[in-house]
Amino acid sequence: MRVRSTYREALRVALREALRDDPRVLLLGEDVAFYGGAFAVSHGLHEEFGTERVRDTPLSESAFLGAGIGAALGGLHPIVEVMTVNFSLLALDQIVNSAATLRHMSGGQMSVPMVVRMATGGGRQLAAQHSHSLEGWYAHVPGIKVLAPGTVDDARWMLPAALREPDPVFLFENARLYPMEGTYDDAGSPAEIGRAAVRRPGRDVTLIAFGGGLPKTLEAAETLTAHSVDAEVVDLRTLRPLDAETILGSVRRTRRAVIVDEAWRTGSFAAEVAARIAEEGFYDLEAPILRICGAEVPMPYAKHLEDAALPQPHSIVQAVLRTMGRA
């Protein structure tokens, strides 16, 4: 049965199920308990499961990420919420030098079954310090997996998949999506990590997006029908491991690729995707690969400037028309 839900509510359903079904699962982070989470994702869970399972932490990302790593090493399955992705920079040592490396450095004797959730992305007038899109930074690190749910269904089913993993999984939730409405399959099963999805089939151009960029890309694809362009939309869903097979299969069909990434263009994850296409699918292309990325500036506060700094449906449409030789 399809259940109508917001992205936020779907995440809460997944969290409640995890806490209910596995006594090893605990949720910890800033304001996740009494306040119900900075974005209300964990609202009501503290009352339902108590302080031992849903725990507020001190304002120290390094400390509570370290606590999560220790809990995982001790046999628990912690879900650690970092309020916004910029705050995770304070815990990079714990993430890169401990969580991601312990299995390798212990010769397989240790594992860190930990899920780290964090809000990401701009578009909410929170200015330069709270509008980062750093998913690509984390996808650079071996030893962790990076998920970017862009639909309500993935918001529901990616967390249970992440909890099955023996090593750290990072779940990037674009904060603009929390109120987004959609449906999920109530009888569904954990999402397949490492598998992209074709959200819209098409024949003329491949649009590649993830997370918060997906709704804008789907909107652009619909607009393009007025220009007699049939766009295929590929939702990456997982940045590490990357499903190159689905990407290349789509490009092989359409012969053109446009990649949408809200992060800064230089060193963006879009650059990694473009390189994979160039390396493994160059002779399938009939036009250069194009990237639509965030402007290379600290995110402005003013709404009109923030909108200009982020990929928008109209900028995606214009890029497609360029690659089709129509602009």
Residue 1's pLDDT is: 87
What's the rounded Cα separation, in Å, for the pair 279 and 320? 21
pLDDT confidence of 153, banded at 50, 70, 90? very high
The predicted-structure confidence for 60-106, as pLDDT tens digits, reads as follows: 999 999 999 999 999 999 999 999 999 999 999 999 999 999 999 99
Q: What is the mean pLDDT of the chain?
A: 97
In a domain, 12, yes or no: yes
Place of tokens 């507020």: 56
Q: Within this chain, do residues 159 and 237 fall inside the same structural domain, yes or no?
A: no
Dist. CA 188–CA 12, nearest whole Å: 16
Kindly tell me if the per-residue pLDDT of 327 is higher than 80: no
Domain-located, residue 241:
yes
| Domain's final residue, options 135, 162, 185 | 185
Structural domain contains residue 192 = no
Report yes or no: 208 and 258 within 8 Å, Cβ to Cβ.
Answer: yes
Q: What is the pLDDT of residues 6-36, one digit of tens each?
A: 999 999 999 999 999 999 999 999 999 999 9
Check 30, 61, 262, 306 and give the catalytic one.
61
The CATH number that applies at residue 285 is 3.40.50.920
Of 185, 216, 246, at which residue does a domain stop? 185
Look at residue 130 and tell me if it is in a domain. Answer: yes
Inside any domain, residue 263: yes
Q: 7 near 182, Cβ under 8 Å?
A: yes
Q: Is 190 a domain residue? A: no
Q: What number is the average pLDDT over the span 273-300?
A: 97
Same domain, 29 and 170: yes
Domain residues for the domain of 29 are: 2-185
> Does one domain contain both 181 and 201?
no
Q: Give the domain CATH number at 66.
A: 3.40.50.970
Q: Does residue 154 have a pLDDT over 90?
A: yes
* 295-305: average pLDDT: 97
The pLDDT of residue 74: 97
Average pLDDT for 133-138: 97
Summarised one tens digit per residue, pLDDT across range 198-214 is: 999 999 999 999 999 99
Q: Which two tokens stand for residue 197?
A: 């999805």
CA distance readout (Å), 251 to 240, 244, 292: 20, 11, 17
pLDDT at position 326, please?
A: 83
Quick check: 54 and 41 in contact, CB under 8 A? no
- Check whether residue 159 and residue 231 sit in a common domain: no
Q: Are residues 162 and 258 in the same domain?
A: no
Closest CA to 221 of 249, 247, 198, 194: 198
Is 265 a domain residue? yes
- How far is it, in rounded angstroms, from Cα 45 to Cα 31? 12
User: Which residue among 30, 46, 81, 130 is the active-site one?
Assistant: 130
Give the pLDDT mean for 47-68.
Answer: 97
Tell me what the mean pLDDT of segment 274-300 comes to.
97
Task: Give the number of domains in the chain.
Answer: 2
Q: Mean pLDDT throughout 146-174?
A: 98
Does 123 share its domain with 54? yes
31 and 142 share one domain = yes
**Nearest Cα residue to 251 out of 278, 271, 281, 210:** 281
Same domain (yes/no): 122, 221: no
Task: Please report whether residue 191 resides in a domain.
Answer: no
Q: At what angle do helices 244-254 and 269-281 cross, to 10 degrees?
A: 60
Do 177 and 205 fall within a single domain?
Answer: no
In this prediction, residue 162 has a pLDDT band, given cuts at 50, 70 and 90, of very high
- Supply 49's token pair: 């499961």
Looking at the fold, whether 25 and 99 belong to one and the same domain comes out as yes
Residues 164 and 213 in one domain: no
Does the annotation mark 43 as catalytic?
A: no
Instruction: Give the three-class secondary structure for 6.
Output: strand
Q: Is 130 assigned a catalytic role?
A: yes
The last residue of one of the domains, among 162, 185, 208, is 185
23/171 same-domain check: yes
